[in-house]
Amino acid sequence: MSAPLAGSHLLPQINTRAVPEALLDALRQRFAGQFSTALVVREQHGRDESSFSLPPPAAVVFAHSTQDVADAVKLAAQFKVPVIPFGIGSSLEGHLLAVQGGISLDVSRMDQVLSINAEDLTVTVQPGVTRKALNEAVKSTGLFFPIDPGADATLGGMAATRASGTNAVRYGTMRDNVLALEVVTAQGEVIRTGTRAKKSSAGYDLTRLMVGSEGTLGVITEVTVKLYPLPEAVMAATCSFDSLADAVNTTILIIQLGIPIARCELLDGTTIRMVNQHSNLSLHEGAMLLMEFHGSPASVQEQVDTVQAIAADQGGQTFEWAKTPEERTRLWTARHNAYFAGIQSRPGCKAITTDTCVPISHLADALLDSVLEAQHSGLTYFLVGHVGDGNFHMGYLIDPDKPEERELAETLNQQLVRRALALGGTCTGEHGIGLHKMGFLVEETGAGAVAMMRAIKQALDPDNIMNPGKIFLL
């Protein structure tokens, strides 16, 4: 692979550890047809939605059960070989890349919904269940699972990266919605964290420690999450603005007034042009908020009235309503496809995606200057944002064969992150650190906090076999 990491100041050195034949033999014997060293399978498990390419893992194990996971980890631990948990491959920061070699542990076939406790508004699933499959499984109960990161990610992967997405402004993130986990530790032991009770003060919050640990502390083999009653009324609308600033300021006011809006997403004109082309739509190609309101009919009407008044005050045009569930689905599909619409607008390109999140009062400061910088750079970009949370993504579309474009995109990304940090924000609202943001993590939280993370990692995984080389280097 040609100079895969050229142009980035932030990526670690590759430090591939040997995978002994004896381990491969032992895995082959234990897992038979659930084990593969075929190049096509390994390559499929050696990449994600990031822009990086690295040599693939040495082998892939397809786990069907917690026991499979435990056995695979125990064998890998015996040989001190890295294990990289794999869900569906939709992460964005190189989480799945075999930067130190090792084996990929695919849990996508652990796809059973284990128990639906409708009367408690909870559900327990295996880690390979995707969010769409989960919602399909609970549909008849009148409940739903709101977390929606766009991709049809697995619940295990969503927990591991502390994912959120469009509905988080009302329903919170995976941090807030995971009640309990089953985890296979780096020693191959099976432990449980949390219970189905809504709250607890029973010892260290191991659930929250595992949520967002990016596979570096163990493999999540079971996830219990909260469900919510399907809202009695749902209304969705788009509103166009003359300027990005007006759209952003409308968002800030909505949040500061405490309006329980369910979704509040931003696209800019450039991105809408990409979405129109990709999804054959005819949305107005200016700054646009896409909003959704959940509640009782009266409460939804109250929210809508207030938000319309705020938007009008900020120069927003008339709301265009998606009146039927089908229209709403089309609208949100278009929003979710913005990433792919962006990628496809420049054939052969890769996206370097940013993910800062700032206190809502600083959203305009963080976003508008970053867009100006991108425009001045001449790079093609897209802009989508969970702006209700102060979180937005720019995607810089680079030709992976042109190191100067990657260099330029990384420079823009650095300027954007440093601006967000200076405003009291974070380098990653929902994608995680992975390979790509290790330097930013230190800038954000300080060497002392990262040293504490390292100490925890070393205590729980002394041989550094669980997805090594992610979040921080040891």
Q: Which parts of 407-446 interact with a second copy (CB under 8 A)?
A: 424-433, 437, 440-441, 444-446
265 or 405: CB nearest a second copy: 265
The answer to whether 411 and 445 have CB atoms below 8 angstroms apart is no
Q: Does 190 bind a second copy (CB under 8 A)?
A: yes
Q: What is the 3-state secondary structure (H, E, C) of 304-359?
A: HHHHHHHHHHCCCCCCEEECCHHHHHHHHHHHHCHHHHHHHCCCCCEEEECCCECC
361 is a site residue for a second copy (CB under 8 A) = yes
Here's the x/- map for a second copy, 124-153, by CB under 8 A: it reads as ------------------------------
Given a contact cutoff of 8 angstroms between Cβ atoms, the answer to whether 444 and 421 are in contact is yes
| Closer residue to a second copy in complex, CB, 37/308 | 308
For residue 30, give both structure tokens.
């234990």
> Using the rule CB under 8 A, is 191 a contact of a second copy?
yes
Q: Closest CB to a second copy among 21 and 119?
A: 119
What would the x/- binding string for a second copy be over residues 309 to 348, using CB under 8 A? ----------------------------------------
Q: Check residue 67 for interaction with a second copy (CB under 8 A).
A: no
Span 12-51, contacts to a second copy by CB under 8 A: none
Interacting residues with a second copy between 448 and 467 (CB under 8 A)? 448-450, 452-453, 455-456, 458-460
As given in the structure block, the two tokens for residue 294 are 């959940």
Give burial (CB, 10 Å; 0-12/13-18/19+) of 109.
middle
Q: Cα torsion at 67, 68, 69, 75 (round to 10°)?
A: 110
First-to-last C-alpha distance (Å) of the chain: 25
Closest distance of CB 42 from a second copy, Å:
27
Which residue type is seen at 98?
A
> Number of residues in contact with a second copy, rule: CB under 8 A?
87
Among 189, 313, 369, 404, binds a second copy (CB under 8 A): 189
For a second copy, which residue of 9, 132, 139, 198 counts as binding (CB under 8 A)? Answer: 198
Both tokens of 338, joined, read 């913005």
| Ramachandran bin of 152, using left for φ above 0, alpha for ψ from -120 to 50, beta for the remaining angles | beta
Minimum separation from the CB atom of position 344 to a second copy (A): 26
* Binding of residue 196 to a second copy (CB under 8 A): yes
Beta strand pairing call for 178-185 and 263-267: unpaired
**53 vs 185 by CB, closer to a second copy:** 185
Whichever of 302 and 320 has its CB closer to a second copy, that residue is: 302
- Residue 130, Cα to own-chain centre: how many angstroms? 13
Q: What are the CA-CA distances from residue 185 to residues 68, 128, 188 (Å)?
A: 13, 18, 5
- How many C-alpha atoms does 340 have within 13 Å on its Cβ side? 10
Toward a second copy, which CB reaches closer, 374 or 420? 420
Q: Which of residues 289-308 bind a second copy (CB under 8 A)?
A: 295-296, 298-299, 302
Least separation in angstroms between residue 127's CB and a second copy is 18
Name the token pair of 463: 């041989």
> What residues between 101 and 120 interact with a second copy by CB under 8 A?
117, 119-120
Q: How far is the CB of 464 from a second copy (least distance, A)?
A: 14
| CB of residue 321 to a second copy, shortest distance in Å | 21
Cβ atoms of 82 and 101 closer than 8 Å: yes
215-254 mask for a second copy (x: CB under 8 A)? --x----------xx-------------------------
Which residue type occupies 190?
A: V
- Please select the residue that binds a second copy; options are 100, 104, 154, 173, rule is CB under 8 A: 173
Which residue's CB is nearer to a second copy, number 118 or number 312? Answer: 118
Tokens of 271: 């991105």
Q: How far is the CB of 258 from a second copy (least distance, A)?
A: 4
Q: Which two tokens stand for residue 422?
A: 């200076």
Binding piece for a second copy, criterion CB under 8 A, among 7-15, 43-51, 195-203, 393-401: 195-203
By the rule CB under 8 A, 211 interacts with a second copy = yes
Residue 213 as a binder of a second copy (CB under 8 A): the answer is yes
Compute the least distance from the CB of residue 55 to a second copy, in Å. Answer: 26
CA distance 440 to 430: 14
> Which residue is associated with the tokens 């549909």?
139
Contact 177, 225 (CB under 8 A): yes
Give me the sheet containing 113-117, strands edge to edge.
113-117, 122-125, 218-226, 178-185, 190-193
Question: Taking the C-alpha atoms of 41, 43, 45 and 46 in order, what is their torsion angle to the nearest 10 degrees?
Answer: 160
Interface with a second copy includes 357 (CB under 8 A)? Answer: yes
State the minimum distance, in angstroms, from the CB of residue 173 to a second copy: 5
Segment interacting with a second copy, rule: CB under 8 A, options 96-104, 193-201, 235-243, 372-380: 193-201
Q: 416, 421, 411: which is closest to 445 by C-alpha?
A: 421
